[in-house]
Amino acid sequence: MKKRLPPLNWLRAFEVSARLLNFTHAAEELNLTQAAISQQVKALESQLGVALFKRLPRGLELTEAGKSYFPVVRESVERLAASTDEIFGQGHRSALSIRSSLVFFTHWIAPRLPRFRAKHPDVSIRVASNIWVDETEFDADLEIRYGQGRWPGMKAERLTWDTLVPVCSPALITQERPLRRPEDLALHPLLHVLGYEEGWGYWLKKNAAESVDSSQGMQFDTLISALTIAELGQGVALARSSLVRHLLDEGRLVAPLGHHVPTKEAFYLVYAAQSMVNPDAAAFAQWLCEEAQAFKVESSVEEGEHP
C-alpha cells in the first residue's frame, strides 16, 4: 500500500535541516522556532516509519534513509521554487495569456512581436495553441481564431483580409509535372487542412477545375504543417495570402497559378469584454489591430502596383 504524500511544510523542514544539519539554523532560515522544526521533522519520520536523522550532542547526522531521501526532496523543492518564481514571479504580475492559431502566431505575430516588446518590455506573455479547443470556452485573456467572426458573447476584431492561393516549392514543378493551369493540380498531391470551410473543393470550383479530384493528397490538422510539407516539395498547399507573403518573397514557396480567390473566413482577435480591464491585454490588442491595419494598407498598395 502506498504511503500518503507528506505535507509540504514537513518536507521543507526536512530539506533545510538536512542541508544545514542543524535544527536551530533551519528554524532561522524558515522563520520558525527550533521546536516547530523539530516537531515537523518528527511528524515526517513518524509518517514514513523511519528515522531520518541521528540526533547528536553537537548537531545532526543523516541516517542511511535520510541520505537516500534528501536528494529527492531537495530536487523537488528546488524545482517547485523555480516553477513558482517563473510563473508567479516579478512581483506576482500575471503573464498575459494568449491562445492562438499556431500558423498565425508563427508566420504573422512572431516576426512582429519584437515591436510590441520594444514598446512594452515589462509585459510577460504566455502563448498556447488553440488547436481543437472548444470555442464555447474561453480561458485566455486574448485569443486568435479563424472563421467568419461570429462567436456569441465574444468581441471579435478582424486581423486579415485573405485570398486563397495555391503554393508549393519551386522544386515541385518539372517539365513532366508542370503547374501552369488549375487542371495541372491533378499531377500533384494536394495538401488539405482540416477545419477550414473553404478548402481545395471550394478553390477548384471557383476556378472551373472540378475535374481535379479534390479529395486526393494528404490531410493535416494545422496549416503550418501543410505549409512545411509544401516547402519540402511534397505537394501543393492552399495558403491564406497573409501568411505566406514572406515565404514567397524569400523564394521558399512559389504561387505559379496565381488565381487568388477571396475568402469569407479570416483570422480574428477574440476576447471577452472584461479582458480589456487588464491593461496588458488592452495594450496587446491595440498593438495587434494597428499592425493588422498597417499590413492591410501595405498589401493593398502592393496589389495596386502588381495587379
Gap between the Cα atoms of 119 and 117, Å rounded: 5
Same domain, 149 and 183: no
Same domain, 270 and 156: yes
Considering its fold, how many domains does the chain have in total?
Answer: 3
| Model confidence band, residue 305 (pLDDT cutoffs 50, 70, 90) | very low
In a domain, 289, yes or no: yes
Same domain, 137 and 275: yes
- Give whole-number Cα distances, 244 to 157, 162, 164, in Å: 21, 11, 11
- Give whole-number Cα distances, 257 to 50, 104, 243, in Å: 76, 24, 17
> Could you tell me the pTM of the whole model?
0.69
Q: Which one, of 151, 302, 294, 177, lies nearest residue 235 by Cα?
A: 177
Last-in-domain residue among 71, 92, 113 = 92
What CATH number did the domain enclosing 43 receive? 1.10.10.10
Question: What domain range is 298 assigned to?
Answer: 96-160+266-305
Same domain, 178 and 258: yes
Per residue in 221-240, pLDDT (tens digit) is 999 999 999 999 999 999 99
Same domain, 23 and 44: yes
In a domain, 1, yes or no: no
Last-in-domain residue among 247, 262, 277 = 262
| Model confidence band, residue 304 (pLDDT cutoffs 50, 70, 90) | low
The answer to whether residues 271 and 155 touch, using CB atoms and an 8 Å cutoff, is: yes
Per residue in 165-224, pLDDT (tens digit) is 999 999 999 999 999 999 999 999 999 998 888 999 999 999 999 999 999 999 999 999
